[in-house]
Chain A
């Protein structure tokens, strides 16, 4: 049977949709799994990085003479030890090692390799850096002001008329949308406009960045590191060091969380540069303080949203102005915020304006659906308030405007089959939605959208002589993807899940693979795995045909067996995969399937979250009482890991909404670079996180898969803000909703006679 909307064949799966144990599971519960910092190499040195204590300073000189004569010090590197790179990598290089200016507190300025951590630390203190301290700016709106200290002389705002002639911290202004917002607003019965702010948060992976780099006297390099994308790391490190790409082999360790924050390089090129100079392998492991000061985080933002609605619930226009600072270099995710802001709604008139701003903060790194959670926070807060103003149920209001198959998206293309309506209906029907609430409690709901991504992917599937299968993929497994890949391969080949072993291969063993990001792995590596399995099946059928002396076209593959296609093909007993594999040496040699693809057709996804919160009116503390995630997965390959993505995204959202915040002092230094002062949610802060998996198949994937990793963090900021605002009796427009902020909101509302 074929699904009329998606064109996908409806198929009875045997292994897909079940919950087998993951292949790396035993290693991970016994402590055997090797993460970034768990590697050692013979003769290894310890690398440490000297970081700027200043938010903004010109580097007049760096003198390492005293460090270099300290016994046990084997090498010191500065920016001079890296190659010249093209414009595309200039910012990456400058972020890895400062050149003429230190641009934020924590910016790397030099590094040493020594025989022990103690010696390396001592050596760092002996490196003399002559700084000329410059005025700094860390706030997004302050950085946009005319009198703000300018970070880069070569940034002149693009996208504004008339074109400015002087440098500024505003990198660009971009506009998205269609229709005429003024005309739309004129048709509205109610128009609400609010300003919003969100603090910068860190991805907060528990494993700090770690690597072991080694460059031999022949110029051949090896790198072991925790990364979401070892192929990209290879290409980038090779460029930064001036090496041929083929002279560097990168192996991805087990990775202890990334969430986007491990999609770039910080320490890897430094370890390689130190190793090249010292002639020995060099290991660098970031401390947690370094992780906070110099990796991640996401943007802090200032946003204004204006939406108009008719009394019948139809939204007539939406407009948003988004200002994101992305740290010391261009490239905040503000455009993605602007594109996703209104993506849930089918609007005739919509406009979003995006300003990308630089400040004296660490260069932002991707964080799960980059840019979208903040934009959704602002838009979904206003939608919530509009619903209550016109006296309409907030799900009803969303359903009246929700995008469907064929809707024009606010950012450009038309949607195919999408599952927003299904998530809204499932949320409305969920028992949670009508459960009673107590005093000082409120319920919030919000929806969210993420594009999802496909990209370059390459896998190899080797059929071994004993009938077992080795599947080599090139996308680091950040949350159980090896299990899903094994399931898809087994499903397609018609063999048992335990017959497939999936590994993440190094960069010399496969063609290029894009980074594990954009919720792309289960979609694109899954698609490539299925194609590689089909490629192998073609070869298996060919071998059977050869054995039987019939045409390959006359052989079909069913449930793990080659069979003659029909009565005309002849009468032969079916041959199993294992039987064909056993005789492969005699029928033409090894059998393997391959797939190299630039996967298009990643299906977008939507989620709707429900949350109950309680606010203590004395202290302003908000507590999450109940949480339900409803999200479209297209097709859940391994439902447990899909649920895990839903739950993890929701809880990162809880931290972002309630606690987490980069706090800068007047001096431009980060005040809270530790897990004590930057508090992420712990088990006792939370209830169970209920999940509902909606499946509206994606026609771009053979099984209907949509990415699931990122959409789950898009609605929570808004859903929680709506719940806390309802509980506190006042609209809260600034994140995090920490107790002092909630209390201030309650007090201000009381002063205005609202509460």
Chain B
């Protein structure tokens, strides 16, 4: 089996890596690049724990091949904070205690950011449907929805 050389922009940085033809983007990020923030909860596109943004679109990285990242831009949870500055969503997740175990949190944050990029003023229902592809087994979603609504508000107010 020959490995494929892939060149992509990951969290704004030109990055190259080798991966096998059947290797998912999730595995490439985690095993080749040490970006373990995206998690595998299912491997079948049902839990959203592996969420990343590929060329501006929210995807389940377990359903994308590593080789498909060639020439494209990938954004992961590791690129969400600006240096020491947490993204407002990250800060609001902490403030609202919107995580218990936290394994779903990277996926929720990436998906919530994609949601707010598209719709800066979502209703509660829009948040709930916008995040329906992300599973959380700990929180019952209440505090997650509140955190996202609150982050949206503070972002509209210019932080």
Decide: B103 and A30 in contact? CB cutoff 8 A.
no
Q: Quick one: given A652-B137, A683-B132, are A255 and B46 in contact (CB under 8 Å)?
A: no
Contact B39 A256 (CB under 8 A): yes
Binds B, one of A18-26, A166-174, A323-331, A696-704: A18-26
Interface membership of B18, Cβ < 8 A: no
Name the one of B46, B138, B142 contacting A688, with C-beta atoms under 8 angstroms.
Answer: B142
B-facing residues in A177-215 (Cβ within 8 Å): 203-208
C-alpha gap A22/B1 in the complex (Å)? 46
Q: Tell me the residues in window 28-65 of chain A with beta carbons closer than 8 Å to chain B beta carbons.
A: 28-35, 37-38, 40
A659 to chain B minimum Cβ distance, whole angstroms, is 13
Given A28-B105, A29-B105, A30-B37; A683-B141 close (CB under 8 Å): yes
**Is the CB of B33 closer than 8 A to any CB of chain A?**
no
Select the stretch in A104-112, A264-272, A639-647, A723-731 that faces chain B.
A639-647
Q: Does A419 lie at the interface of the complex (its beta carbon under 8 Å from any beta carbon of B)?
A: no
In the complex, what residues of B have CB within 8 A of residue A38's CB?
30, 36
Give Cα distance in the complex from A288 to B42, angstroms.
Answer: 5
Evaluate contact between A683 and B128: CB separation under 8 angstroms: yes
Q: Is A551 an interface residue (CB 8 A)?
A: no
Contacts of A285 in B (CB 8 A): 40
A684, B101: Cβ atoms under 8 Å? no
Q: Which residues of A contact B145 (CB under 8 A)?
A: 683, 688
A306 to B40, CA, bound (A): 46
B140/A255 in contact, CB under 8 A: no
Q: Which of B99, B103, B143 contacts A647 (CB 8 A)?
A: B143
- The chain B residue sitting closest to A34, CB to CB, is B36
CA distance A391 to B106 in the complex (A): 51
Q: Residue among B22, B41, B102 with the most chain A CB within 10 A?
A: B102
CA distance A661 to B125 in the complex (A): 27
Q: Which residues of A are found within 8 Å of B131, using beta-carbon distances?
A: 682-684
B100 touches A478 (CB 8 A): yes
Q: Cα distance A676–B62 when bound, in Å?
A: 15
Asked if A30 and B135 sit within 8 Å, CB to CB, the answer is: no
A31-B106, A478-B101, A674-B44 are contacts. A647–B139 as well, Cβ < 8 Å?
yes
Contact for B109 among A29, A206, A641, A682, CB less than 8 A: A29
A394 contacts chain B at the CB level, 8 A cutoff: no
Which residues of A lie under 8 Å from residue B39 when comparing CB positions? Answer: 35, 37, 206-207, 256
B152 to chain A, nearest CB (A): 15
Say whether B42 contacts A256, CB under 8 Å: no
Is B68 interfacial (CB-CB < 8 Å)?
no
Which residues of chain B come closer than 8 Å to A649, judged between CB atoms? 140
**Complex interface: chain B residues within 8 A of A205 (CB):** 101, 103, 137
Please tell me if B43 contacts chain A, counting CB pairs below 8 Å: yes
Q: Does B78 sit within 8 A of A, measured CB to CB? A: yes
A648/B97 in contact, CB under 8 A: no
Most buried by B among A640, A644, A676, A686: A644
Known: A640-B97, A683-B145. Is A32-B138 also a contact (CB below 8 A)? no
Bound together, the chains give a CA A682 to CA B132 distance in angstroms of 5
Q: Which chain A residues border B78 with CB–CB below 8 Å?
A: 30-31
A705 at the interface (CB under 8 A from B): no
Task: Determine if A28 and B102 form an interchain contact, defined as CB atoms under 8 angstroms apart.
Answer: yes
Distance in angstroms from B141 CB to nearest chain A CB is 4
A31 and B38 form a contact (CB under 8 A): yes
Main secondary structure of the interface of A (DSSP, over half): loop
Confirm or deny: A13 has a beta carbon within 8 angstroms of a beta carbon on chain B. Answer: no
Interface 1/0 per residue, B75-110 and A, CB below 8 Å: 011101100001000100111110111111110010
Chain A: minimal CB distance from B53 (Å): 14
Candidates A21, A645, A674, A686; contact of B46 at CB < 8 Å: A674
Q: Is B35's CB within 8 Å of the partner chain A?
A: yes
B127 within 8 A of A: yes
* Interchain CB contact under 8 A, B81 and A207: no
How would residues 108 to 137 of chain B score, 1 for a CB under 8 Å from any chain A CB and 0 otherwise? 010000000000000011011101111111
A689 surroundings in chain B (CB, below 8 A): 140, 142
User: When the two chains form their complex, are residues B99 and A29 in contact, meaning their CB atoms are under 8 A apart?
Assistant: yes
State the majority secondary structure of interface residues on B. Answer: loop
In the complex, whether B55 has a CB less than 8 A from a CB of chain A is no
For residue B33, give the distance in angstroms from its CB to the closest CB of chain A. Answer: 12
Question: How many Å from the CB of B68 to the closest CB on chain A?
Answer: 19
Which residue on chain B has the smallest CB distance to residue A653?
B140
A438 to chain B, nearest CB (A): 18
Query: What is the distance, in angstroms, from A42's C-beta to the closest C-beta of chain B?
Result: 14
Interface size for B (C-beta < 8 A) is 60
* Chain B 33-61 residues near chain A, CB threshold 8 A: 35-44, 46-47, 49
Complex CA gap A633/B36 in Å reads 36
Contacting pair A686 B140 (CB below 8 A): yes
Q: Which of A259, A674, A681 contacts B42 (CB 8 A)?
A: A674
Instruction: Give Cα distance in the complex from A675 to B81, angstroms.
Output: 30
Whether B141 and A255, one on each chain, are in contact in the complex, defined by CB atoms closer than 8 angstroms, is no
Selected contact of A29 from candidates B41, B49, B93, B146, CB within 8 Å: B93
Q: Report how far A652 CA is from B137 CA in the complex, Å.
A: 7
Let me know if A644 and B103 touch, CB within 8 A. Answer: no
Q: Is the CB of A32 within 8 A of B37?
A: yes
Contacts of B96 in A (CB 8 A): 640
* Nearest CB on A from B81, distance (A): 6
Kindly list chain A residues whose C-beta atoms are within 8 Å of the C-beta of B140. Answer: 644, 647-652, 681, 686, 689
Q: Is A417 an interface residue (CB 8 A)?
A: no
Partner of B143 from the list A31, A644, A650 (CB cut-off 8 Å) is A644
Quick one: which of B78, B103, B105, B145 has the most chain A CB within 10 A?
B103
Contacting residues, chain A, for B31 (C-beta < 8 A): 40
Query: Which of B44, B139, B142 has the most C-beta atoms of chain A within 10 angstroms of its own C-beta?
Result: B142
Q: Does B144 contact A (CB under 8 A)?
A: yes
* Contact in complex: A683, B144 (CB < 8 Å): yes
A232-260 interface (Cβ within 8 A of B): 254-259
Quick one: given A31-B36, A31-B37, A479-B101, are A257 and B77 in contact (CB under 8 Å)? Answer: no
A480 at the interface (CB under 8 A from B): yes
Instruction: Tell me whether A641 and B90 are in contact (CB under 8 A).
Output: no
- Alpha-carbon gap, A204 to B138, bound state (A): 9
How many Å lie between the Cα of A338 and that of B105 in the bound state?
37
Q: How far is the CB of B60 from chain A (nearest CB, A)?
A: 12
A598 part of interface (Cβ distance < 8 Å): no
Measured between beta carbons, the chain A residues less than 8 angstroms from B20 are 118
* Chain B nearest Cβ from A125, distance in angstroms: 16
Chain A residues lying within 8 Å of B95, measured Cβ to Cβ, are 21
Q: Which residues of B contact A652 (CB under 8 A)?
A: 137, 140
Task: Name A19's closest neighbour in chain B (CB-CB).
Answer: B97
Interface string of B141-159 (1 = CB under 8 A from A): 1111110000000000000
* Contact status A686-B141, CB under 8 Å: yes
A644, B86: Cβ atoms under 8 Å? no
A680 within 8 A of B: yes
- Chain B, residue nearest A675 (CB): B46
- Name 15 A/B residue pairs within 8 A (Cβ), A-sorted: A22-B94, A30-B86, A30-B90, A31-B78, A37-B36, A204-B137, A206-B136, A259-B137, A288-B47, A479-B100, A644-B138, A647-B139, A674-B46, A683-B134, A683-B145
